[in-house]
A and B are shown apart, each in its own frame.
Chain A
Amino acid sequence: MSDKEKSIMAEVERQYGNYGVRTRELCAEGAKAIGYICSFVPLEFITAAGCIPFRIRGDIREPITRGDSLLETIVCPFVRSCFDLCVKDRYDFLSGIVIPHGCDSMVRSYSVWSYSLNFPYFHFVNTPTVVKESSHEFFKEELRSYQKSLEDFTGKAITAEDLQKAVRLHNDNRLKTKALYEFRKADPPLVSAAELHKILTVGASLPVAEANALLDEVLAELGRRTEAPVKKGPRILLDGACVDHSAIADIVAESGGEVVVDTTCMGTRDLWPLADEDGDPVASLARRYLDRLNCPKTYRENTTGTFAGDAEARFGDIGARAKEFTVNGAILYLYKYCDPFGFEVPARKAYYESLDIPLLCLEDTYSAGTVGQLKTRIQAFLEMIG
């Protein structure tokens, strides 16, 4: 690695190891950071309000303790971990939290979050479940309520120009991330899953303009790379919800494979869909967050009358990623108690079968303690397809 490369990757490593360190600094200087869980939270409004959108993460190494005295254990373990860390003041520099209508675990625990934590700002964005003309109409109004709540909080109006600027910045962020992924198309990939995970994680903790600058530097360095950091091996697609840690990718790498693409929330689900930059920004954001984001929580009507047609409409993006990145197998990694994904397992399985992509289904509890069990399954899977 060149010295320059060492320094940008070292910076990523530093911020990853102390998640939120930069934003904490900025808040000490007077900036306001608003935390969020879930890809459905419209970040552009937070940026347009002059605040920093900060992605709240869990920690698989931290046993959930204080959170459990307030939140049932039948809640998604990722949500519980995030809540537990908030209760333990891991994110005490935040000024508020936004939670969307993502899933029952979030929705039904909203009161618990908003009453137990001492932030001055809490807001719930009621994303519709279905995608119809009327849903877009409703969602635009709901987003205007959200905008107003931010204006009330900051004491400043958010203009259409502010929003348009934020739309462009966040689109830029997504395009740069897509460019990062391009390096994974090579065989073997020029950027490892572990590195990419750290870069994306750090990116989600920064004000979007700073994240974009970071990505520019990373892209420049990767462009200079001649040697792949990993060996050739089975190429894996990681499918699932909020996988905010690299345990699975690490185990795959240890077992001689490599995760080359994902369809998870901290990855392409979040970062692929763009918002239209022309026209009314609220309408454009309504379209992006309601329709372009592809998550099981959104009900997609089956207009074809067949299962194959339905599967293609719901999961087509998985097939497209699998093809673009020439994968040899896929891992569907779900948390226990996840209803939106849990109900889709048979349909997803059938879809992968239709594409002849071997699939390993893992159900986990979000804890470093299960790594041994995951290792056996992942290694056995790679032995099977290898």
Chain B
Amino acid sequence: MTEEKKEKKPHKRMTATRAAASIGPMVKEFIAGTNRARKEGTHKLAYTFIVCHHEEILRAMDVLPVWTENFAGVCGAKRDAERFLQRAESLGLSRSLCTYALCGIGYDQWREELGETPPDAPWGGQARPDFMIETGQILCDPRSKWYQASQQFMPDIPIYNIDLPYPLFQRDRDHREVLGYYHRYIVKELRGLIAFLEKQTGRKMNYDRLSELVDLSDRIWNLVHETYELRRAKPSPMGTGDAMNTMVPMNFMMATQECYNFFSDLKKELEEKIARGEGEVEEEKYRLMWGGGLPAWYALNDFNYFNGKGASFPVETTYRMVMPLDEMDLPRTNDPVEHLAWRWLGYWTFWYDKARRRPGSEPDVERLINWVEDYDIDGIVVHQAFSCRTWHVGLIWQLNQLAKIYKPIPVLMIGTAGQKEKTNREVPSLILESDIIDITSYSEIDTRNKIDAFIETLESVRANRAA
């Protein structure tokens, strides 16, 4: 059995919440569910990506998403991605490319060559889709190139590419000047998706059902936000380690009642923990923010290592893909597609106004500042995954800029005159480096050394903290 074999398999990770612990079987069930649907022909299957604002449309048309990033992440977490990565390399793809995509393309080519699931594929493998939904976006090139590359081996599978731009932050421009035409374009793209799905499934979209699902996801957005805000408590009841699990329903089950129920339950669990004064860590010494970067999926145990040093993670920017709708000032509309497009734009431009009001700020930096204050953060950790330019380019600059414009910690230093002086310093930060699923890029010894050094920095900053 793949589960039990090598000594390489990591120890089962400790989670702070019961909710997070329930994710494993949930993910296994999606994958098993799509394999069943393929076998029994009960649903159309679509390869697709998370964060495309199209889950409501897919679910309204009973199309089952096959989340290819998720499958690659599972391979990574099970430390069984290497053979698929090597397969992709043997086709001519460079290891420096998004390793999720390499894993997926390697897997697809192998499956097509064999005419069946590759041997011992994690959790039954990734089902062959009926069609593939890519997204141009502005965020990530692999989202436009990945399925196109796989299509070389499955030319009978059509692709619909939804372009989903948002206006980049430009300091001298109010983004509202351009939102109108961005909105019009996104609406057309989403309507195009609906037309594509109608053609592929032979069914018409039920717009009442779509409206219900959009309404449901709106409520889930607000619920998730309220739930995560509970982590402001001291001690914080849930950390980023758990959030890397709870991102599953948020990103893979949006617009479903199960997702709503999951977060309702999680919210209750967190409220109970707070009432009992129970934190992620028994003795919370330091509160850290995961300030950017996808996690190293094969090394989630590192969060437990941090916990062991008294560090909790009340907040993270990664996979926090929802923001409170009532703070977005969205134009009212009865049309669910128009609403989805406004919500998309509202999410991506959420921090623009605030960033413009603070000299030297920028939306990602602004978010860091706001959350340092909201969650009372002592230090920031980011992870540089070498194969992902999307989420990792700019992290060094963000930390630099943050240090430049935001110095919230009063410390006592020995000044030039030899006397103790009070000065303000920036929030300490740590940069970890490896990859999302390529474990050869990771050195546990090296990483843990870095974590140890960081904890010492936090101790020293605290020791020198002025009143």
A and B touch in the complex (CB under 8 A): yes
Which A residues lie at the B interface, using CB under 8 A? Answer: 69-72, 74-75, 101, 103-105, 107-112, 114-116, 122-124, 126, 128-130, 132, 134-135, 137-138, 141-142, 145, 149, 296-297, 299, 301-302, 305-307, 310, 334, 336-337, 339-340, 342-347, 349-350, 361, 363
Identify the closest chain A residue to B143 (Cβ): A129
- Residues on B with C-beta less than 8 A from A339 are 97-98, 141-142, 145, 389
Write out the residue numbers on chain A whose beta carbons fall within 8 Å of the beta carbon of B91: 345-346
Residues of chain A within 8 A of B277, CB atoms compared: none
Shortest distance between the CB of A190 and any CB in chain B (Å): 35
A307 B155 Cβ-Cβ under 8 A: yes
Given contact pairs A74-B392, A126-B165, A363-B96, enumerate 17 new A-B contacts (beta carbons under 8 Å): A74-B96, A74-B384, A74-B386, A108-B393, A115-B360, A129-B165, A135-B185, A142-B178, A145-B178, A296-B145, A305-B155, A307-B152, A343-B101, A343-B142, A343-B145, A346-B91, A349-B92
Q: How far is the CB of B184 from chain A (nearest CB, A)?
A: 7
A109 & B151 in contact (Cβ 8 Å cutoff): no
Q: Is the pair A350, B192 in contact by a Cβ cutoff of 8 Å?
A: no
A-B contact pairs, 10 of them (CB 8 A): A72-B396, A74-B388, A105-B393, A108-B393, A112-B394, A115-B360, A128-B136, A301-B159, A343-B149, A346-B149
- With A111-B394, A346-B93 given, is the CB distance from A124 to B168 under 8 Å? yes
Q: Which residues of A contact B144 (CB under 8 A)?
A: 129, 297, 299
Contacts of A124 in B (CB 8 A): 168, 170
Partner of B96, one of A101, A145, A296, A337: A337
Structural contact, A72 and B362, CB atoms closer than 8 A:
no
Question: A126: which B residues are within 8 A, CB to CB?
Answer: 138, 165, 167-168
B185 touches A72 (CB 8 A): no
With CB as the reference atom, state the residue of chain A lying closest to B362. A111
Interface residues of B in 62-109 (CB under 8 A from A): 91-94, 96-98, 101
- A104-B389 CB under 8 A given contacts A114-B171, A296-B145: yes
A134-B188, A302-B151 known; A346 vs B177 contact (CB < 8 Å): no
Please indicate which of the listed interface residues B93, B98, B168, B189 has the most CB atoms of chain A within 10 Å of its own CB: B168
Taking a contact as CB atoms under 8 Å apart, the answer to whether B141 and A363 are in contact is no
Complex CA distance for A105 and B393, rounded to whole angstroms: 7
Q: Per a CB cutoff under 8 Å, which of A72, A130, A302, A310 touches B136? A: A130
From A105, A134, A302, A345, contact of B92 by CB (8 A): A345
Check if B351 is an interface residue, CB within 8 A of chain A.
Answer: no
**Considering the chains assembled together, what is the distance between the CA atoms of A141 and B101 in angstroms?**
33
B-side contacts of A70, CB under 8 Å: 396-397, 400
CB < 8 Å: which of A132, A299, A305 contacts B156? Answer: A305
Contact call B155/A130, Cβ cutoff below 8 A: no
Q: Give chain A residues whose Cβ lies under 8 Å from the Cβ of B142.
A: 339, 343
B390 within 8 A of A: yes
- What residues of chain B lie closer than 8 Å to A306, measured between beta carbons? 155
Contact in complex: B140, A104 (CB < 8 Å)? yes
Residues of chain A within 8 A (CB-CB) of B167 are 126
Chain B: which residue is nearest A349 at the CB level?
B92
Chain A's closest residue to B396 (CB) is A72
Q: How far is the CA of A74 from the CA of B392 in the complex (A)?
A: 9
**Chain B interface residues (CB < 8 Å from chain A):** 91-94, 96-98, 101, 134, 136-138, 140-142, 144-146, 148-149, 151-152, 155-156, 158-159, 161, 163, 165, 167-171, 173, 177-178, 181-182, 184-185, 188-189, 192, 360, 362, 364, 384, 386-390, 392-397, 400-401
Contacts of A75 in B (CB 8 A): 389, 393
The complex places the Cα of A132 from the Cα of B196 at a distance, in Å, of 14
Q: Given A74-B393, A114-B171, are A138 and B182 also a contact pair (CB < 8 Å)?
A: yes
CA A154 to CA B388, docked complex, whole Å: 38
Give complex CA distance A124, B167 in Å. Answer: 9
Cβ B181 vs Cβ A141 within 8 A: yes
Q: Which residues of A contact B136 (CB under 8 A)?
A: 128-130, 299
Establish whether residues A122 and B170, one from each chain, have CB atoms under 8 Å apart when the complex forms.
yes
User: CA–CA, A345 to B182, complex, Å?
Assistant: 32
**Set of chain B residues within 8 Å of A349, measured between Cβ atoms:** 92
Knowing A126-B138, A128-B163, A129-B137, the reply to whether A347 touches B149 (Cβ < 8 A) is: yes
A69 to B403, CA, bound (A): 14
Closest residue of chain B to A347, judged by CB? B152
Partner of A108, one of B93, B146, B192, B394: B394
In the bound assembly, the distance between CA atoms of A346 and B87 in angstroms comes to: 12
Q: How far is the CA of A145 from the CA of B192 in the complex (A)?
A: 25
Are A138 and B181 closer than 8 Å at their CB atoms? yes
Q: Is B93's CB under 8 angstroms from A123's CB? A: no
Assess whether A310 is in contact with B151, with CB atoms less than 8 Å apart.
yes
Q: Give Cα distance in the complex from A142 to B175, angstroms.
A: 12
Task: Say how far B340's CB is from chain A's closest CB, in angstroms.
Answer: 16
Q: Considering the chains assembled together, what is the distance between the CA atoms of A339 and B386 in angstroms? A: 12
> Judging by beta carbons under 8 Å apart, are B141 and A340 in contact?
yes
Which of A105, A296, A343 has the largest number of chain B CB atoms within 10 A?
A343
Contact B384 A72 (CB under 8 A): yes
- Nearest CB of A to B115, in Å: 17
* Minimum distance in angstroms from B358 CB to a CB of chain A: 13
A344 in contact with B168 (CB, 8 Å): no
Q: How far is the CB of B432 from chain A (nearest CB, A)?
A: 13
Contact B396 A130 (CB under 8 A): no
B362-A346 in contact (CB<8A): no
Write out the residue numbers on chain B whose beta carbons fall within 8 Å of the beta carbon of A334.
94
Q: Give the 5 A-B CB pairs with smallest separation, nearest first.
A: A129-B136, A343-B145, A108-B393, A138-B185, A134-B188
**Least CB distance, B114 to chain A, in whole angstroms:** 18
Measured in the bound complex, the distance between the Cα atoms of B369 and A286 in whole Å is: 39
Check A336–B96 contact: CB distance below 8 A: yes
- Complex: A145 Cα to B388 Cα, angstroms: 30
Nearest B residue to A126 by beta-carbon distance? B165
Interface core residue of A107, A114, A142, A296 (most chain B CB under 10 Å)? A107
- How distant is the Cα of A114 from the Cα of B168 in the complex, in angstroms? 12
Q: Is the CB of A110 within 8 A of B168?
A: yes
B168 (CB) vs chain A CBs: closest residue: A124
- Which of A74, A137, A299 is in CB contact (< 8 Å) with B389? A74
> Of A129, A297, A334, which is in contact with the most chain B CB atoms at under 10 Å from its CB?
A129
Once bound together, how far apart are the Cα atoms of A250 and B279, in whole Å?
A: 64
B168 to chain A: which residues have CB within 8 Å? Answer: 107, 110, 124, 126
The interface residues of chain A lying within 8 Å CB-to-CB of B158 are 302, 305
CA distance A70 to B393 in the complex (A): 10
A347 vs B91: C-alpha distance in the bound complex, in angstroms? Answer: 9
Establish whether residues B152 and A350, one from each chain, have CB atoms under 8 Å apart when the complex forms. yes
Query: Does B93 lie within 8 Å of A107, measured CB to CB?
Result: no
**Which residue of chain B has the shortest Cβ distance to A111 in the bound complex?**
B362
- In the assembled complex, how far is the CB of residue B182 from the closest CB belonging to chain A, in whole angstroms? 7
Q: A71–B396 contact, CB under 8 A?
A: yes
How far is A268 from B165 in the complex, measured between Cα atoms in Å? Answer: 28
* Closest chain A residue, CB of each to CB of B181: A141
Collect the chain A residues with CB atoms within 8 Å of residue B396's CB.
Answer: 69-72
